[in-house]
Structure 1
Amino acid sequence: MWIISFWMFPLISACMWVAMLIAMLVSWVYDGRPHYGGMDKVQTIAYISNVGAERLQPLFIGGSVVTVVFLDLAFLSERWLRHSNQLASNKGKFDKACAVLSIFFAIAGAAGLILLSIFDTKHHPKMHDGFLALFLAGYIVSAILICAEYLRIGIFYRREHRVLLASFFIKLAFIIIEVGLAIGFGICMNGSGSRQNTGAILEWTIAFVFTGYVLSFVVDLLPSVRTRNHVPQGEKFAMGHPSPEEAVSIEEPLTHDSAGPNTGFYRGQRV
């Protein structure tokens, strides 16, 4: 059924992430855009980490935990659904290895986000920056591995399941955009004055773009849903294109030497 299924994991993750970001941004503006202790002297725009280090830290921690837990559940669900043939299955060791490694790096990225929300930039600046790097690197590497996996599967099923290639291009766009923004963010974060404001804008942008990446897994998981009019993606392929192992062998007719009195006939029909 459509209402309760695996596709809800990334949807819950994305909704929690966006709700948390909007709540933090609105709260900062509503409070009169205060200048927090961890901000540069001439900085006028707060980083997410600056807002998350103050009274909204419980929201920052809770929202981060919910976001990454449900996102990682989406990763694990996608792997299980391919293994159980509810989604188009992997075609070799390479794409399976990419899938497993993508989960590993996603978990590393999840740990980075949770830890950076706990070790805030106000009291633990160096640890916070390290966990921030782990968060960004973990999910970017994970996305690269997923792209490699989907490109391989998408080429194999290019006629039957174009959604795989569509998802590949969505995730590829995420990688290109996030890497570019992350480079700019890193340069600005180590600068001063107006660069700090630019860095803050880039950080908020990176966070909101991450929402699109999370939602892309809804596209990946929806084809696994079974309804009255919809067969799961993997089963649909198996029904129309049986694998060599599933193909039924056809019995060859007996030779004339061993056919006995029914020479020239096979299963009641003349051959």
Structure 2
Amino acid sequence: MWIVSFWLFPLVSACMWVAMLIAMLVTWVTVGKPHYASMDTGQKIAYISDVGAQGLKPLFIAGSVVTVVFLDLGIISERWLRHAGQLVPNKGKFDKGCAGASIFFAIAGAAGLILLSCFDTLRHPKLHDGFLALFIIGYVISAILICIEYLRIGIFYRHEHRILLASFFIKLAFIIIEVGLAIGFGVCTGSNDTSKKDPGAILEWVIAFVFTGYVLSFMIDLLPSVRTRRHLPQGHKHMEMSQGGSNRNSEGVSIEEPLTYDSMGPNSGFYRGQRV
């Protein structure tokens, strides 16, 4: 059914993430853009971590937990649906290994976000920075492994299921954009020049909102598993296409099965197109 299905996991994750970011940004602006204790001298724009270390820390923790838990449930569901035949199966041990490793790094990234929200930048700056690196690196590596998996199965099923390659290119775009932004963010935050702190804060907010697109991309992966009156799950459709291709004669002409096997009717005495 469309109402309750696995595609809701990334949708809930993305909605929670965006709602949390907007609430934190609007709150900081509406209270007069205060200069928090965790901000550097001369810094005018607050980082997400600066806002999250103050009165909105409970929201930061709760939003981070819900976001990564539902995102990782979506990633795990994709692997399970391929194994269960709801989505087209993997084609070898290598892409199955990539899928399994992507789950491991996604869980590591999730742990990084949860821990950085708990160990805030005001009271635990070093731990916070370490968990931030774990969050970014974990999900980037997970995305790379998922791209490898989707490239392999997308090429194999390129004629029947083009959505696989579409998902690959979306995730590849996310990797390229996020890595580029993360490099710029690292340069700005690691510099002793205070004039680069504000650009670093802007980059952090942009990175966070772009991450929403990556989360939503898993809806594209999970929607084909939905069964409705007019739509078969991707894996079932693929199986039917494979079985349908086997009922062909030596000239490649499809041979229909008889509707009945009794001795009455116009198909009497025939089986698989041959007189018996």
Is residue 242 of structure 2 the alignment partner of residue 221 of structure 1? no
In 2, distance between residues paired with 1:206 and 1:115? 19
Q: CA RMSD in A?
A: 1.9
Displacement after TM superposition at 1:269 (Å):
5.1
Percent identity reads 73
CA deviation map 1:66-96 (0-9, x unaligned): 0000001001110110001101110000100
In 2, distance between residues paired with 1:234 and 1:142? 24
TM-score, normalised to structure 2, is: 0.88
In 2, distance between residues paired with 1:190 and 1:181? 14
In 2, distance between residues paired with 1:243 and 1:125? 61
- What residue number does 1:208 align with? 209
Is residue 162 of structure 2 the alignment partner of residue 159 of structure 1? no
Is residue 137 of structure 2 the alignment partner of residue 132 of structure 1? no
In 1, distance between residues paired with 2:96 and 2:204? 33
Residue identity matched to 1:61: I
* Structure 2 segments unaligned to the other structure (5+ residues): 250-270
* Structure 1 segments unaligned to the other structure (5+ residues): 251-266
Consecutive aligned runs of 4 or more in structure 1 exceeding 3 Å deviation: 267-270
Residue identity matched to 1:233: Q
Displacement after TM superposition at 1:242 (Å):
3.6
- What residue number does 1:253 align with? none
In 1, distance between residues paired with 2:244 and 2:56? 54
- What residue number does 1:257 align with? none
CA deviation map 1:7-63 (0-9, x unaligned): 000000000000000000000000100000111100000000000000000000000
In 1, distance between residues paired with 2:104 and 2:176? 21
What are the residue-to-residue correspondences of 1:63-74 with 2, within 5 Å?
A: 63-74=63-74
In 1, distance between residues paired with 2:182 and 2:242? 43
Is residue 121 of structure 2 the alignment partner of residue 116 of structure 1? no
- What residue number does 1:33 align with? 33
Aligned residues: 253
Is residue 238 of structure 2 the alignment partner of residue 237 of structure 1? yes
What are the residue-to-residue correspondences of 1:75-154 with 2, within 5 Å?
A: 75-154=75-154
Deviating more after overlay: 187-196 vs 4-13: 187-196
In 1, distance between residues paired with 2:216 and 2:39? 32
- What residue number does 1:196 align with? 197
What are the residue-to-residue correspondences of 1:163-174 with 2, within 5 Å?
A: 163-174=163-174
CA deviation map 1:89-110 (0-9, x unaligned): 1000010000000000000000
Residue identity matched to 2:190: N
